[in-house]
Amino acid sequence: MKTIQVYGSGCKNCTVTAERIRAAATELGIEIQLEKVTSLEAIMMAGVMSTPGVGIDGVVKHTGSVPSFEQVHELLTENVVA
């Protein structure tokens, strides 16, 4: 199971990012735990300077925009052993 963090204040872009991640995980059959990180301190400690940000297992992989479905698929399948 992957733990996915969505970093942001809870704005529309952050919400869309979380929905996209859930939809892609379901489509790919990947079990995830989605965490919404809204604390400004936690966002800054993660090194996210522009939201929304996406982290996978605590490593920031994307920042500054809503990732496309293709980007989400790539992030979720990165390092997956078939």
Active-site residues, by number, are: 11, 14
Residue 64 CA to residue 53 CA, distance in Å, equals: 6
> Cα 77 from chain centroid?
13
DSSP 10: S
Is the preceding omega at residue 67 within 30 degrees of 0, hence cis?
A: no
